[in-house]
Chains A and B, each alone.
Chain A
Amino acid sequence: MDFSFTEEQTLLRNSVNKFVAGQYDFDKRRALIKTEAGWSKANWQAIAELGLLGAPFAEEHGGLGGGPVETMIIMEELGRGLVVEPYLPTVVLGGGFLRHGGTAAHKLEHIPAIVEGQRVIAFAYAEPQGRYNLADVAVSAKKSGSGFTISGHKAVVIAGPQADHFVVTARTAGGQRDAKGISVFLVPKSAKGVATRDYPTVDGLRASDVTFENVAVGAESLLGEADHGLPLVERVVDEAIAAISAEAVGAMKVLNDTTVEYCKTRKQFGVPIGKFQVLQHRMVDMFMNYEQSVSITYMVTLKLDESDHERKKAASAAKVQIGKAGRFIGQQAVQLHGGMGMTDELNVGHYFKRLTMIDTMFGNVDHHLKRYAALSDDAKAA
């Protein structure tokens, strides 16, 4: 039983922290998200130079050979700075598909490029009708010669505008919501028939709706086994859930610290408002929500490599805790800052928006409570 970090892990945290503190102060970020591109290639290169883009990859591909704990540390620190560069889509999601589903050739072609900052991947999975069901896939991939032809519409693809490749879920067999018959493809954005409509999201990111019109891809673009892609998708998404849980923990910490500091200095009725017990207890509840979120993030991070059943339960548990805590902390941070909390010029709203969107990503509290309950009821067979 050990919750301490190794010396290397502490150094890693310090280096991310230094980058965020040095290059990601609130005003710089606020200016950055208002630019046309909405991200900075210079930042991306700086992140690459710190080795962060290689964190989870094998050393033979230029990576650091890190595991879930390293990803957790990086995401938590990126969360503190609300970093908008596409680390999650490229390294955690795209990288996850390559690590778990890619062939040796895939890895050789794409991982070194990711590590060097030359490749940005976006994960195109959600569809307009599908809500949070990863198996609700209407985009089709029809066998054609030795390859496939992909057609359909993917919704709110985070980092779509920045990406040069998409990981796409498509149906190669079965009905629209069948678990079987889903395949995963790696498709260059430059492929003929791929069209994107780009837009900003409320939390300062960039996204696209992507349409595929008879996009011809070769058999080599398949990641993992044809028709049996769902378990791969679930695994990578669960890893992404662990990663955004850590990101959320970083954001929650900033909101809580900011709120406590504000309540110590803001005076009304002649005293700092932090002297009022009703506000003190609210901040204690924020603090407990944060601590419980740290705990559940450790839990899911340490369970990512267990059985599918355990991993899924852990990911859903984390997503529920993080979703609830993120909303509570965000809402209360705004409330305790009063009118100032409503403004764009204060950082509070920006963290609140990101935490709220984290709840939406990969399924909200309601979705994961149902998933958890269903998985939990399976235990009756045991």
Chain B
Amino acid sequence: MDVSFSPAEEAFRHEVRSFIAENYPKHLRGKSRGEFGGREDFLAWHRILADKGWVAPAWPTQYGGPGWTSTQRYIFAEECARAETAIILPFGVNMVGPVIYTFGTEEQKKEHLPKILSGEVWWCQGYSEPGAGSDLASLKTTAVRDGDHYIINGQKTWTTLAQFADWIFVLARTDKNAKQQEGISFILVDMKTPGVTVRPIITMDGAHEVNEVWFEDVRVPVTNRIGEENKGWTCAKFLLSHERAGIAGVARSKRGVQRLKDLARAERDGENPLIADPDFARGVAELEIDLTALEYTELRTLAGEAAGKGPGLESSILKIKGTDIQQRLTELTLDAVAYYGMPYRPYGHELETLTNEYVPGPDYSHGAAQSYFLTRRVAIYGGSNEIQRNIIAKMVLGL
């Protein structure tokens, strides 16, 4: 057992840190995702990493991955979190990309993988439906065969950043008579195809991140299907376990705890800084200790992956504990900023109608309440934390 880094790994850390310092776009520094103006802000860092060959750390080298060890990937994630870089959106790189290189044909790989890496094509995820949330397999969107095409009808929802997306990967029912999970196919759809409509959903914090996506007689070539017809559930499950693995956000939360402590040193509570308040300090200490344990749980999982086990059922633990920590972090931050959590910070999409000329309170308080409200979602998306518990109960405990 050994968790120290080798000199080569330390050199790698230095290389990553220097690269970020020299290349992260100046106009995005200090900006959170909520402050991004539009598509270009999201893509700027993606393109820079793509040019460097670092945008898809987990991909096999034959498809354009950098060939890093799990330790290098961990170091890379830590350094990105430390510098608070924009997050690389997962829909292409972490979700549909691995599905395509695992289950796709050579043509499909050639067509899609390079564009995912370069950022030329923005992907979104067509999984949830109004009537199919946790019970994903009850989805009703249909894809009916018509010669060399499918005709897709139905509605997807909670589609993150679909307003910017070029393509969507869709789970659709191709056999109405089969048992729930057996009649589903995994199909790629160009968002420009006639019949695809995107409608915004504004969340309680004011953000426009999620959308409804409607399909009305949308014609898609059969060659856009990944894997066999009616076997899409295999892809869906594979993708979900990959999605969960990244969802713990340990490195980002570590940075978040540092920020929380910094601001609790700046905030006054009578004579003393807030950090000296025993009740507050206790909450921070509990959070930090939970995060330390989770960090080692993640390292154990990475070590397991390196030893040839795929992202296993531990990924459900990472999801539950990781999101719990993210929520507590935003909650403690909200508690810490007191009154200056109240002012509303307009999002990028609102700046035309809401002015943001006077920004009250210290920098660190901006959007604290909105971040708290928005972060309620993390325990719901990617398979709710209750569903994750069902998975562990069934698959690990055998109940």
Contact = CB atoms under 8 A, between A and B. Distances in A.
Chain A complexes with chain B: yes
A132 to B, nearest CB: 16
A298 interface: yes
B302 interface: yes
Nearest to A293: B293
Nearest to A73: B1
A291 B317 contact: yes
A191 interface: no
Given A291-B297, A291-B314, A292-B293, A377 B1 contact: no
Contacts of A379: 261
A1 B293 contact: no
Interface stretch (B160-168, B343-351, B368-376, B388-396): B388-396
Interface in A298-333: 298-299, 301-302, 317, 320-321
B393 A280 contact: yes
A376 B302 contact: no
A3 B289 contact: no
Most buried by A among B71, B286, B303, B386: B286
Contacts of A281: 386, 389-390, 393
Give the contact-size bracket for chain B. Answer: 35 or more
B261 A376 contact: yes
A254 interface: no
A253 to B, nearest CB: 13
Contacts of A294: 300
A298 B1 contact: yes
A376 B284 CA distance: 10
Given A260-B397, A321-B293, A377 B321 contact: no
B392 A292 contact: no
Contacts of B61: none
A287 interface: yes
Contacts of A1: 2-3, 5, 70-71, 74, 299, 302-303, 306
Given A4-B307, A284-B397, A317 B297 contact: no
A373 B399 contact: no
Contacts of A292: 290, 293-294, 297, 321
Contact of A372 (B276, B289, B302): B289
Contact of A280 (B289, B314, B397): B397
Q: For the complex, would chain B's binding face be called helix, strand, loop or mixed by DSSP majority?
A: helix
A296 interface: yes
B72 to A, nearest CB: 10
B390 A277 contact: yes
Interface string A359-378: 00000000001101100110
Interface string A325-363: 000000000000000000000000000000000000000
Most buried by A among B2, B286, B288, B292: B292
A311 B317 CA distance: 27
Contact of A283 (B292, B299, B303, B393): B393
Contacts of A275: 399
Given A2-B1, A284-B393, A292-B294, A376 B288 contact: yes
Contacts of A280: 389-390, 393, 397, 399
B398 A260 contact: yes
B280 to A, nearest CB: 9
Contacts of B397: 260, 280, 283-284, 287
Q: Which 8 A-B pairs have the closest CB atoms?
A: A295-B296, A280-B393, A292-B293, A373-B281, A373-B285, A296-B293, A1-B71, A295-B297
Interface of B: 1-3, 5, 70-71, 74, 261, 265, 275-276, 278, 281-282, 284-286, 288-290, 292-297, 299-300, 302-303, 306-307, 314, 317, 320-321, 386, 389-390, 392-393, 396-399
Interface of A: 1-5, 69, 260, 263-264, 274-275, 277, 280-281, 283-285, 287-288, 291-296, 298-299, 301-302, 317, 320-321, 369-370, 372-373, 376-377, 379-380
27 contacts: A1-B70, A1-B303, A5-B1, A280-B393, A280-B399, A284-B389, A284-B392, A287-B397, A291-B317, A292-B293, A293-B293, A296-B292, A296-B296, A298-B1, A298-B296, A299-B292, A299-B295, A299-B296, A369-B282, A369-B289, A370-B282, A372-B289, A373-B285, A376-B261, A377-B276, A380-B261, A380-B275
